[in-house]
Structures are given as C-alpha cells and as structure tokens.
Structure 1
Amino acid sequence: MIGLVLAAGAGRRLRPYTDTLPKALVPIDPPTTVLDLTLANYAEVGLTDVAIVVGYAAAAVEERVPYFEDRYGVRLELVHNDKAETWNNAYSLWCARSLLSQGALLANGDTVHPASVQRTLLEARGDDRRIILALDTEKSLADEEMKVIWTADKGVSRITKLMDPADATGEYIGVTLIEPAAADDLAEALRKTWERDPNLYYEDGYQHLVDQGLRIDVAPIGSVDWVEIDNHDDLARAREIVCPS
C-alpha cells in the first residue's frame, strides 16, 4: 500500500501565500506545511512509498522532494495534473489511477490531522471492505462540510455538501483507504465523473460508485483535532492545532 496526496490545487483564498505555492506548502509552523505533516503521518504508520499529485506551482513541490525524502524516510513519486488550475479534484485523483492497484491511503493536501486517522483506517481493513472513509461523527455540521450518510447494513448512501446537516452521519475529513480491489471501479467512476462535469469532486465519484451498488464504508476517527484549510481562518486554526499555546 502507498500513501497518496492530492496537492495540485491553487488555493486562491489563501493568497498571498498561494501566489507562488500550492496549498499543501502553505507554512503552518515554518517550515512545517500540510505536506510535511501528511508525510510524517505516512512514515509513522509504516508507509514509505508516497505519490503526490501536483499541478499548480508544481515546481515548488519538486524542489523539496530531496528534503522530504531525507527528513521522513519516504520515496516520492510526483504525478502531474495538467488541468489543475481549471478542473476539480475528481480529475486530479484520476491522474493517479495507475497507482491505485497497489492500494492507497489517500489524503487531501489541505487537511491537517494526526496519524491516528491513518491508523484508524488501517485497523478498519478486512471483511471485504474496499473503500473506507475517515469520518468525524462528533463535529457540528454546517452547509460547507462534505457530509455523509452511512448505515451498518448498507454502508454509505450519500456523500455531498448539498445535504441537510441534520441528516448526516458525519463529515468526511478528506482521508480514504482504497483497497486494490476497488482500483478499477474507482478509476472508471472518476473518469465518468470528470467527463460529466470537470468541476466535480472525487467524492462525486464515490457517489457514482454507491449509485452503481458498490459498498463504501466509514471509520469514525473519534475526538481528534483536525481542520481542512480553505481560508485564512482555517490556517489560523491549523496553527493552533500544530502549535498549541
């Protein structure tokens, strides 16, 4: 199994940092970035082969590859998304489709979370589970969150931001375990998703799988501090998590 990071986005709401950097390299506790934290998490759970999907400001990631490999003891492969500035992340994950047959722990490049999330997903493997989503079942939800409905008998039935928060089981935090057995189905679902609308999310690809009858499961992450960094307020929260006073 490999680690996989989606780090192709421009993150325009984090300017001026992202005038020259992708979101994954915005400094949290200089020189620590989201990418540093994610690579450290992978190393902690024993994943040393990591692929990073790059696009916007890809050169900034490329020039740090030797540093990352030396510091975290990982081997990095960069996957280039040539449409990162105009298309959404369903296409970004599809760009890494050839790697999914190895199995992957996927993490969005803008999510700060502890390694316990990766451990929770790895411990949830088995019983023919093919895709497992890290789910926060404790956070109070609003309109912007990626919400999930899940039941024990059917698995995930919906994953979307466009849902009444009161109906949701919890929030998908942007970290997924993808087993090799799901690779071909997921790649095809992602292709159909971006062909339908290049502005769609890879979570829309998950919904396509669900609609086609493929079961997707969840693993509750418990009470942990995490944040998705979309704007400067989120960045401030990330700094509180990484550097508590």
Structure 2
Amino acid sequence: MIGLVLAAGAGRRLRPYTDTLPKALVPVDGDKTVLDLTLANFAEVGLTEVAVVVGYRKEAVYERKEQLERAYGVTLTLIDNDKAEEWNNAYSLWCARDVLKQGVILANGDTVHPVSVERTLLAARGEGKKIILALDTVKKLADEEMKVVTEPGSGVRRITKLMDPAEATGEYIGVTLIEPEAAEDLADALRTTFERDPDLYYEDGYQEMVDRGHTLDIAPIGELEWVEIDNHEDLAKGREIACRY
C-alpha cells in the first residue's frame, strides 16, 4: 500500500498565495505545507512510497521533490494532470488509476488532519472492505460540506454536497483507503463520471460505484480537529491547528 495525494488544484480562493503555488504548498505551520503534513502522516504509518497528482503550478512541487523525499523518508512519484485548470478532481484521481492497483491511502491536498485518521482507516481494513472513507460524524454540517448518508449493513448510500445537512450521517473529510481489488472498478466509475461532466468530483465517482452496486464503507474518525482549506478563513483555522500535529 502506498500514499496518494491529489495536489493539482489551483485554489483560486486562496489568492494571492496561489498565484505562484498550488494549494497543497501554501504554508500552514511555519514553512510546512499541507503536503508536508500529509507526507509526515504517511511516513508515520509506515508508507514509504507516495504518488502525488500535480497540475496547477506543478513546477513548484517538482522543485521540492528531493527535499520532501529527504525530509520524510519517502519516494515520490509525480503524476501530471494535463487538465488540472479545466476539469474537476474526478479526472485527477483517474490520472492515478495505475497506482490505485497497489492499494492506496488517498488524501486530498488541502486537508489538514492528524495521523490518527490514517491509523483509523488502517485499523478498519479487512472483512472484505475495498473502499473505506474517513467520516466525521461529530461536526455540525452546512451546505458546503461533502455529506454522506450511510445505511447499517450497506455502507454509503449517498455522497454529495447537494443534500439537506440534517439527512447526513456525517462529512467525508477527504481521506480514503482504497484496496487494490477496487482499483479497476473505481477507475471505470471515475471515467464514466468525468465523461458525463468534467466538472464533477471524484466523490461523484464514489456515488457511481454505489449506484452500480458496490459497497463503500466508512470509518468514523471521532472528535478531532481538521479542516479542508478552501479559502482564507479555512487557512487561518488550518494554521491554528496544524502546529498541534
């Protein structure tokens, strides 16, 4: 199993920081970025190989590749997303379809979270589970969150931002464990998703899998502080909590 980070996004709501950097390289703890924190988490749970999907301002990641490898004791493979500034992240994850075959812990390049999330996912493996989503079942939800509805014994039934928060079981935090056995089916679902609409999220690909009859499981992360950094308010919160991890 290897680590996988989606770091191709432009993060336009974080300008001027993202005028010259991808969102994953905006500092959140001194010189440390979300990518630094994620690589540290992966290393702490024993992952020594990490693939990073890059696109917008990818040259900044290429420039830091060797330094990141030395700092965290990992080997990085950079995967170019040629449509990062045009299409949404369903295509971005599809670009990593070959590494999915190794089994991955996938982390969005804008999620500040503690290593306990990765540990929770790894502890949830087994019993035929192929895809396990890290779920916050504690946080009070609003319209922007990626909401999930689960059904006992059936796993995920719906995953979308477009639902009444009161209906949701919790929020998907942008970290997933994907076993090798799920790689081919997920890649096909992602292709169907971005061919239907290139603006769709990879979570819409998850929904496509559910609609096809596949089971996606969840692992509740408990009560902990994390944030998806979309705007300057999120960045301030990320900087407040990142130093604690």
| Offset from partner CA, 1:158-185 (integer Å, 9 cap, x none) | 0000011000000000000000010000
Q: Secondary structure at the match of 1:64?
A: helix
> Deviation of residue 100 (structure 1)?
0.6
> Deviation of residue 30 (structure 1)?
2.4
Instruction: Kindly indicate whether residue 169 of structure 2 is the aligned counterpart of residue 141 of structure 1.
Output: no
Give, in whole Å, the separation in 2 of the partners of 1:113 and 1:243: 11
Partner of 1:191: 191
Residue identity opposite 2:179 in structure 1: E
Partner of 1:64: 64
Give, in whole Å, the separation in 2 of the partners of 1:20 and 1:167: 40
Partner of 1:111: 111
> Deviation of residue 13 (structure 1)?
0.3
- RMSD of aligned alpha carbons: 0.6
| Offset from partner CA, 1:66-94 (integer Å, 9 cap, x none) | 10000000000000000000100000000
TM-score by length of 2: 0.99
> Deviation of residue 242 (structure 1)?
1.8
Partner of 1:153: 153
- Aligned pairs (5 A) from 1:63-212: 63-212=63-212
> Deviation of residue 215 (structure 1)?
0.3
Give, in whole Å, the separation in 2 of the partners of 1:233 and 1:143: 16
| Offset from partner CA, 1:43-63 (integer Å, 9 cap, x none) | 000001000000000000000
Partner of 1:54: 54
Give, in whole Å, the separation in 1 of the partners of 2:224 and 2:243: 15
> Deviation of residue 243 (structure 1)?
3.1
Q: Secondary structure at the match of 1:203?
A: helix
Give, in whole Å, the separation in 2 of the partners of 1:180 and 1:133: 15
Give, in whole Å, the separation in 1 of the partners of 2:122 and 2:115: 11
Residue identity opposite 2:100 in structure 1: L
How many corresponding residue pairs? 244
Residue identity opposite 1:60 in structure 2: A
Give, in whole Å, the separation in 2 of the partners of 1:122 and 1:159: 22
> Deviation of residue 2 (structure 1)?
0.6
Q: Secondary structure at the match of 1:86?
A: coil
Give, in whole Å, the separation in 1 of the partners of 2:30 and 2:140: 30
| Offset from partner CA, 1:185-236 (integer Å, 9 cap, x none) | 0000000000000000000000000000000000000011100000000000
> Deviation of residue 29 (structure 1)?
1.8
Q: Which runs of 5+ in 1 are unaligned?
A: none
